[in-house]
Structure 1
């Protein structure tokens, strides 16, 4: 019997492991400690797997590769933001299909990305590279650059340590946040920052794939609240625009995607591009772009609205297989949103079935365990209690269903303040030790 071709996957994501196996591929998966500790990892789902302390560290990944059976490996693939460069270098090391390392650096490093686009004639807001955000001279440098300014890690993700600054005091508060930040093994390197002139407008996200340098699929979505504003408390959500009802939006999006991805050099793979829609004149201003899928339930909402499974497309492109065409779209209005509740330790919460029975809900998942604490959604856009997708026949009804769901869920989750949790007795401490 001819052995199955092998694909090396960096990061544990059950959907793409399942898809790879459906495509007849032997799956070898490297996963991070945080994925294991959060309960994402089920070794039975993959053919072979191994813990790697830092997927962003090429040495750690290569040492794991040396211990694994990668005979018949045809490709290295990841959808983890932090592992894109590792995947590229490991693919080069193995001599198999994978991302291009130079291209991945342009998609990871926000200053490199904008330098390339500016040199190609894109009209972008000004930016300033800050080698060390904790340097004493940074506040005066940012003041000279000009306010309002957005400060963020040069190779970060979401809104982690992303701050809108309007004066020197704001910059100093941003420095204090960095000093207090507790690094995790998965997310390292938070000293080099970029300062960007603030861009007004409604933020959109554009998701799809390219194949042989050509745009193969595009979805255009509109955020209900700009991601940076979630640091003030609102929950992040977005709605998929309809290619027929909002044809003008797709024309704007397609032009920006084609031009920017061509300059950045992405020829094969999925992308998640964020841009700001401005009126009078009607235009999209490039924000930033990742060479991976968008987070939250962007993939699920696009699949429901437009029939395209971008997880499947990503694996198929990585393995050199034909991309499965999209299924039939729906005329329903489709959105996803974060769900959260009052701060504290979770005492009780709705079951998955209870949430799925709410009006319009089509998919749902918890991001934390039943005994964990409610994450602080103002820290960054990856912090939330749960994700959900909804559908409705009109935009107005979709909005009403989402607001009702957010309120119902927030009230249905019972929490207890950490200070209310009694200290363990000496006997309990001994037993747990």
Structure 2
């Protein structure tokens, strides 16, 4: 096992990794920006390193700064969390060049699966079902129009280098395709630095279901069941649960088997997620593979009792999987609600401000992953996630009631700060969600004003920098806090 791990992230996931390191007997170092100097992760870690100003480009996305932080603190490995550099193959390659272990899959695998068009081809070759669509990046709006006419509308345009549900456009009318193609390319260029896009058939009334996998360095792999992530606004998840309700057992088994087959076909290592779209007829097709820990990983931990971050550490350190598939048992039901500092009544606009009151809920089988506390400033530089409220119960209905009780108990206040708590409770009580009959269209149907609104810079900040022209910091300053 490593003696020191650098955490190259912020917020609740940085604190989550620090805690896992502490339990594993590993020294943790947190790399932080000026905005996060007083963060809970910095306070809890064994040491911390200031790596730059608040802008992500000059801190959390600065590869030289993070590598130097690892070097001066003696870190043998870097945990990237999610967002930022977590799926950047160049970063993983630089880590290897400097003799630092990147806690995640190899650069080659990330490169292959990060290119969504290439990933489609690789998974199709491995026998996974993929949606009808382009075999690679589109070369023109005309090509997109011909393909859309062939496979039928509606279709969805996606960034080849995209992920996390960002930069997608659904097209239902052929007259809108050319402008959607231009807009998607422009968005992809601005957000991902790569303007290539591809096209797929869009499935209406679909469910978004993903399978969690773990793979070691020796060709062994297990799945930890699936999660339903269908409650979304603008392709951004709000509520996730495990196991997926109202899913045919044959479909469940086939999806999990497909994820393992796909992972082994490309030599995947570490924790990863295969995301599928499931039709009303329970047909499933692969959407993408996420080469990192997911925001919603706690629901899998709650239903399996497996610490995913500690498993990541063990795999990266070269240990073989300690689990066999028959050792994995999914028990009960878990639901996660993402509490964001956003105003649902104003199109989910971020509401930054300083928290004057912050009292998380408690009680049996309630877990709150958060980095916030009274006096903490929810700033405009990063993602607006404040906390994840995760509950477990013996069955889904009890879990739904417990989640609602926990949200009702949550006290968050501050000048100008509003949260998504009331809206989350509305979703939990919605008849479609209660009956496990909901799809990815639930939020749009319940709150039409939130549908098809462009993503704001704040919503992109967890994985991309806010627009800024400042050059990246070449290295962190010497302020290492032990």
The answer to whether the superposition gives a TM-score over 0.5 is yes
**Contact persistence 2:18–2:45 (CA under 8 A):** yes
TM-score by length of 2: 0.65
Equivalent residue number for residue 447 of structure 2 = none
Q: Distance in 1 between matches of 2:31 and 2:192?
A: 18
Q: Distance in 1 between matches of 2:47 and 2:234?
A: 40
Equivalent residue number for residue 219 of structure 1 = 225
1:259 aligns with 2:266: no
Pair 367,118 (structure 1): closer, same or farther in 2 beyond 3 Å: farther
Equivalent residue number for residue 427 of structure 1 = none
Q: Provide Cα deviations, 1:11-65, integer angstroms capped at 9, x if missing partner.
A: 341222332344344445545x597389465166143534167689999424653
Structure 1, unaligned stretches of length 5 or more? 376-381, 419-433
Correspondent of 2:210 among 199, 205, 225? 205
1:92 aligns with 2:93: no
1:14 aligns with 2:21: no
Correspondent of 1:118 among 97, 120, 124? 124
For these two proteins, the number of residue pairs brought into alignment is: 391
Equivalent residue number for residue 234 of structure 2 = 231
Q: Provide Cα deviations, 1:276-316, integer angstroms capped at 9, x if missing partner.
A: 23465x54321111121111xx2222222110111111112
Bigger Rg over Cα:
1
Q: Secondary structure at the match of 1:272?
A: strand
Equivalent residue number for residue 398 of structure 1 = 399
Q: Which has the higher contact order (CA 8 A, sep 6+)?
A: 2
Q: Distance in 2 between matches of 1:196 and 1:235?
A: 20
Structure 2, unaligned stretches of length 5 or more? 419-482
Q: Provide Cα deviations, 1:241-264, integer angstroms capped at 9, x if missing partner.
A: 189x98645522331112111222
Correspondent of 2:179 among 154, 172, 191? 172
CA-based RMSD of the aligned residues comes to 4.6
Equivalent residue number for residue 63 of structure 2 = 61
Q: Provide Cα deviations, 1:95-135, integer angstroms capped at 9, x if missing partner.
A: 45444221111222111211212334443223334478xxx
**Contact persistence 2:30–2:45 (CA under 8 A):** no
- Within a 5 Å distance, the mapping from 1:23-422 to structure 2 comes to 23-31=24-32, 33=33, 36=36, 39=39, 42=42, 45-51=45-51, 60-62=62-64, 64-66=66-68, 69=71, 74-81=76-83, 82-84=85-87, 85-95=89-99, 97-98=101-102, 99-128=105-134, 129-130=136-137, 137-138=140-141, 140-146=142-148, 147-167=153-173, 168-169=175-176, 172=179, 175-176=182-183, 188-189=192-193, 191-200=195-204, 201-211=206-216, 212-225=218-231, 227=232, 230-231=233-234, 236-241=238-243, 248=250, 250-266=252-268, 268-278=269-279, 283-295=283-295, 298-321=296-319, 331-339=331-339, 341=343, 342-343=345-346, 345=351, 352-353=358-359, 355-356=361-362, 361-363=366-368, 365=370, 372=378, 386-402=387-403, 408=408
